[in-house]
Structure 1
Amino acid sequence: MLLTFEVIAEALRERINSGGLMPGDALPTQAMLMAEFGASSLSVQKAMALLKQGGYAVSRPGKGAFVARGDTDTDVDPDNTGVGNAPVGGIAARVEALELALAQTLDQLTALQSRVEVVEGGTVGPTH
């Protein structure tokens, strides 16, 4: 059984692969995806991270997330402004997805350390 974020990512991949969403098209907003799938913001963020990691999407600060182009290293400029073109489907998308995953892992480790401290009845310090 797929987790909510995997369901969201798969649905968007299918829309992209079927041509329902084309390279350069804006992806649905976080609020739209939360409403459509009855999902939390974290689930939507994880789904977007999967899409970026897989080269399906790219973020543009202040503009949102867009379908990546798989055949080139430059993104489509839907506003035709010549501003904000970003590399897609490659290193930039993967770095962003990995940074998000790393931050989430750090949060999980911190929570786990807190639980261990409670169970042990003491403090567990860093092992430097």
Structure 2
Amino acid sequence: MAGVKATRRGRRPTGGGVQLTFEVIAEDLRERIRSGGLRPGDALPTQAVLMREFGASSLTVQKAMALLKQEGWAVSRPGKGAFVAHHDSADDLGGPEVTAAAVGTAARVETLERALADAVEQLADLRARVQALEAGGGEPGR
């Protein structure tokens, strides 16, 4: 499957049966993981390698990696790169696909919780500003 390119520069054909390039890259890497060519903890190919291999742009490769991370197939280690995620409980849950979905969901929940905490903090700051303005004292700290 390596080296397969999607058509029409990333737009989904009207027939709907052809994968976009980032989907092709993600599926190829999933297959390498399933087949044992890439094992948990192994480094995934670099962005430059995948760009050459698939004739893809950096953005396309980044979308493929983001998809794999979202699904739980890959993890990032800052300053080190992307690695195959560990699927220790895959046998208990019915295989890597189920584990990947669970890990991906947990990561999404964590991201949403952080975003919610940031939003609550921003609301509290705005509320304090409004109260200061209503009290006629101007904005706090200014």
TM-score range, shorter chain: 0.5 to 0.7
Q: Which amino acid aligns with 1:31?
A: A
Unaligned runs of 5+ in 2: 1-17, 90-102, 113-142
The TM-score normalised by the length of structure 1 is: 0.58
Unaligned runs of 5+ in 1: 73-88, 99-128
> Superposition pairs for residues 42-57 of structure 1, below 5 Å?
42-57=59-74
Aligned twin of 1:12: 29
> Superposition pairs for residues 83-98 of structure 1, below 5 Å?
89-90=103-104, 91-92=106-107, 94=108
SS at match of 1:9: helix
Matches of 2:58 and 2:33 in 1, distance apart?
21
The share of aligned pairs that are identical, in percent, is: 80
Aligned length: 82
Structure (1/2) with the larger helix percentage: 2
Aligned twin of 1:22: 39
Matches of 1:13 and 1:53 in 2, distance apart?
13
How has the CA–CA distance of structure 1 residues 56 and 4 changed in structure 2, closer, same or farther, with 3 Å as cutoff?
A: same
The TM-score normalised by the length of structure 2 is: 0.53
Deviations 1:51-83 (CA, angstroms, capped at 9, x unpaired): 0011100000000000001126xxxxxxxxxxx
Runs of 4+ in structure 1 over 2 Å off: 89-92, 94-98
* Cα offset, 1:95, TM superposition: 6.6
Q: Which amino acid aligns with 1:38?
A: G
Aligned twin of 1:60: 77
Higher relative contact order (CA 8 A, sep 6+): 1
